[in-house]
């Protein structure tokens, strides 16, 4: 897929909008449910070097947006053009793309040094999963 300036801007906009919406909705869900899914989304305390820094919420949210952009660009420029996926429905491919983000719930919650959700908290996992699936529904808009 050739990357024109217009396509680059569209993919960037979709990635940022998706990331902002996911973060805001997770924060709202955390406030309503008490399940620390937003805190888990932004948590980096288990990473070497990066985790040793006391980052502001804004900085952590910026990291989250970078990750959202990476997922969106991966979907549009790496996965979508591959021959193996050409006959796939773009929503099925988006679903496949967000599966790793959903499954990150378990290692992120297990490795966290601060108190977040437990890996065995099925309610928190359900919330995490549903919100990431909604995130994935918007990925095809970037194509």
- The pLDDT of residue 31 is 97
Rounded mean pLDDT, 51-57: 91
The tokens 């947006």 sit on which residue?
65
d(CA 41, CA 44): 9
Residue 70 has pLDDT above 80, yes or no: yes
Rounded mean pLDDT, 100-128: 95
Verdict on whether the full-model pTM lies above 0.85: yes
Rounded mean pLDDT, 59-64: 96
- The pLDDT of residue 121 is 97
Residue 1 has pLDDT above 70, yes or no: no
Neighbours of 109 (CB within 10 A): 21
Three-state SS sequence of 35-63: CCHHHHHHCCCCCCCHHHCCCCHHHHHHH
- The pLDDT of residue 27 is 98
- The pLDDT of residue 2 is 63
Is there a contact between 88 and 108 (Cβ–Cβ < 8 Å)? no
Q: Write out pLDDT tens, residues 27-36.
A: 999 999 999 9
- The pLDDT of residue 19 is 97
Neighbours of 41 (CB within 10 A): 25
């Amino acid at each position: 897929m050739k990357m024109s300036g217009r396509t680059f801007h569209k993919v960037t906009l979709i990635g940022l909008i998706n990331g902002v919406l996911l973060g805001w909705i997770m924060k709202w869900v955390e406030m309503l449910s008490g399940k620390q899914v937003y805190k888990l989304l932004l948590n980096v305390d288990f990473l070497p070097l990066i985790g040793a820094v006391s980052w502001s919420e804004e900085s952590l949210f910026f990291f989250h947006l970078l990750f959202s952009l990476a997922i969106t660009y991966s979907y549009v420029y790496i996965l979508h053009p591959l021959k193996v996926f050409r006959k796939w429905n773009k929503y099925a491919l988006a679903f496949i793309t967000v599966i790793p983000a959903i499954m990150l719930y378990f290692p992120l919650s297990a490795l966290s040094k601060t108190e977040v959700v437990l890996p065995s908290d099925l309610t928190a996992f359900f919330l995490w999963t549903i919100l990431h699936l909604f995130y994935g529904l918007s990925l095809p808009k970037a194509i």
